[in-house]
Structure 1
Amino acid sequence: MNREIVETSKMGGDYELALLMVPPWDIEKPPLNIAFLAEFMRAHGHKVWVKDLNISFYNEVHSRRWSVQRGQKSVKRLDMLWEMMSQNWIDPVQMTDVFFEHASDEIEREVNEILDTGARFIGISVHYRNVFFANRLARMIRERDPERIVIFGGPEVSADQRTGKMHELDADALVIGEGEHTLLEFLKANANRRKGELEPVAGSVVRLEGNDFTPYEPRPLIADLDSLPWPTYSDFDVFSYHPEPMPPRLPFLSSRGCIGKCSFCMDHYIAGRFRHRSPENAVAELKHHIERYKVFDFSFNDLLCNGNPKALERLAKKIIDENLRINWWSYAMIHKGMTYELFKTLRRSGCVNIDFGMEAASNKVLK
Structure 2
Amino acid sequence: MQTDLLLINVPRISLIYPPAGTSLLKGVVEQQGYTCRVKDANFELLNSIKDPEQFENITNYFTIPNATITSDCAKIVNDWYTSLVDYIVDLDPRYVGISVFTFECQRATRELCERLRKYYKGNIIIGGAGLSTTGIATQINDFGNSLKNAGLVDYYVRGEGEYALVNILKESNGEGINNDRYVQIEDLNSLAFPNYDDVIDYNYHYTIGRTQLPVTTSRGCVRRCSFCDIHAFWKKYTYRSGKNVATEMISHYEKYGVQDFFFTDSLINGSLKSFRDLCAELINYYEQNNLPNAFFTWGGQWIVRTPKQLIPKDYIMAARAGLQGVAMGIESLSEQIRKDMNKGFLNTDLDYTLEQFRQTGINCYFLMIVGYPTETDEHHIETMQQFTKYQGYAIDGTIFGVNLGGTLSIDEGSPLHKDSIHYGLSPTQNDTELFGLDWTSKDNPKLTLLERINRRIELQELLMDLGYTVWNGDHQLKRLKASYERIKQNTYHFKDILHS
TM-score with structure 1 setting the length: 0.78
**CA 186–161 in structure 1, closer or farther in 2 if over 3 Å, else same:** farther
Match of 1:364 in 2: 340
Provide the identity percentage.
26
- Are the counterparts in 2 of residues 123 and 151 from structure 1 also a CA contact under 8 Å? yes
Match of 1:286 in 2: 249
Structure 1 residues 320-335: aligned runs within 5 Å: 320-323=283-286, 325-335=295-305
Once residues 322 and 81 of structure 1 are traced to their aligned partners in structure 2, the CA distance between those partners, rounded to angstroms, is: 45
Match of 1:216 in 2: 180
Match of 1:57 in 2: 45
- Are the counterparts in 1 of residues 264 and 301 from structure 2 also a CA contact under 8 Å? yes
Once residues 22 and 129 of structure 1 are traced to their aligned partners in structure 2, the CA distance between those partners, rounded to angstroms, is: 10
Structure 1 residues 248-327: aligned runs within 5 Å: 248-323=211-286, 325-327=295-297
Once residues 306 and 274 of structure 1 are traced to their aligned partners in structure 2, the CA distance between those partners, rounded to angstroms, is: 12
Match of 2:171 in 1: 189
**CA 275–238 in structure 1, closer or farther in 2 if over 3 Å, else same:** farther
Larger radius of gyration: 2
Q: Deviation at 1:245? A: 5.1
Q: Deviation at 1:223? A: 1.8
Match of 2:131 in 1: 157
Q: Read off the aligned partner of 2:340 and give its amino acid letter.
A: K
| Larger relative contact order (CA 8 Å, sep ≥ 6) | 1
Within the alignment, does 1:347 sit opposite 2:319 as a pair? Answer: yes
Task: Pick from 6, 14, 20 the counterpart of residue 18 of structure 1.
Answer: 6
Once residues 201 and 154 of structure 2 are traced to their aligned partners in structure 1, the CA distance between those partners, rounded to angstroms, is: 31
Q: Tell me the secondary structure at the aligned position of residue 76 of structure 1.
A: helix
Match of 2:428 in 1: none
Once residues 87 and 139 of structure 1 are traced to their aligned partners in structure 2, the CA distance between those partners, rounded to angstroms, is: 17
Once residues 68 and 25 of structure 2 are traced to their aligned partners in structure 1, the CA distance between those partners, rounded to angstroms, is: 28
**CA 338–101 in structure 1, closer or farther in 2 if over 3 Å, else same:** farther
Once residues 81 and 134 of structure 1 are traced to their aligned partners in structure 2, the CA distance between those partners, rounded to angstroms, is: 15
Report the structure, 1 or 2, having the larger helix content: 2
**CA 101–163 in structure 1, closer or farther in 2 if over 3 Å, else same:** farther
Q: Tell me the secondary structure at the aligned position of residue 130 of structure 1.
A: helix
- Are the counterparts in 2 of residues 24 and 129 from structure 1 also a CA contact under 8 Å? yes
Match of 2:79 in 1: 105
Structure 1 residues 29-178: aligned runs within 5 Å: 29-59=17-47, 61-63=48-50, 65=51, 76-78=53-55, 91-94=64-67, 100-126=74-100, 127-145=102-120, 147-157=121-131, 159=135, 162-167=138-143, 170=147, 171-178=153-160
- Are the counterparts in 2 of residues 161 and 176 from structure 1 also a CA contact under 8 Å? no
The unaligned stretches of length 5 or more in structure 2 are 148-152, 343-414, 416-500
TM-score with structure 2 setting the length: 0.59
> Cα RMSD over matched residues?
2.7
Q: Deviation at 1:365? A: 3.9
- Are the counterparts in 2 of residues 330 and 353 from structure 1 also a CA contact under 8 Å? yes
- Are the counterparts in 2 of residues 253 and 301 from structure 1 also a CA contact under 8 Å? yes
Match of 1:211 in 2: none
Match of 2:495 in 1: none
- Are the counterparts in 2 of residues 260 and 268 from structure 1 also a CA contact under 8 Å? no
**CA 229–160 in structure 1, closer or farther in 2 if over 3 Å, else same:** closer
Q: Deviation at 1:95? A: 7.0
Q: Deviation at 1:151? A: 1.6
Once residues 88 and 320 of structure 2 are traced to their aligned partners in structure 1, the CA distance between those partners, rounded to angstroms, is: 45
CA shift digits 1:110-155 (9 cap, x unpaired) = 111112222232111111222111111111111223x433221111
Q: Tell me the secondary structure at the aligned position of residue 270 of structure 2.
A: coil
**CA 22–280 in structure 1, closer or farther in 2 if over 3 Å, else same:** same
Q: Deviation at 1:357? A: 1.0
- Are the counterparts in 1 of residues 176 and 182 from structure 2 also a CA contact under 8 Å? yes
Q: Deviation at 1:160? A: 6.4
Q: Deviation at 1:280? A: 2.4
- Are the counterparts in 2 of residues 18 and 122 from structure 1 also a CA contact under 8 Å? yes
Once residues 97 and 338 of structure 1 are traced to their aligned partners in structure 2, the CA distance between those partners, rounded to angstroms, is: 53
**CA 242–95 in structure 1, closer or farther in 2 if over 3 Å, else same:** farther
- Are the counterparts in 1 of residues 227 and 341 from structure 2 also a CA contact under 8 Å? no
Once residues 303 and 87 of structure 1 are traced to their aligned partners in structure 2, the CA distance between those partners, rounded to angstroms, is: 28
CA shift digits 1:182-217 (9 cap, x unpaired) = 111123235xxxxxxxxx421221xxxxxxxxx532
**CA 282–175 in structure 1, closer or farther in 2 if over 3 Å, else same:** same
The unaligned stretches of length 5 or more in structure 1 are 1-11, 66-74, 191-199, 206-214
Q: Read off the aligned partner of 1:166 and give its amino acid letter.
A: D
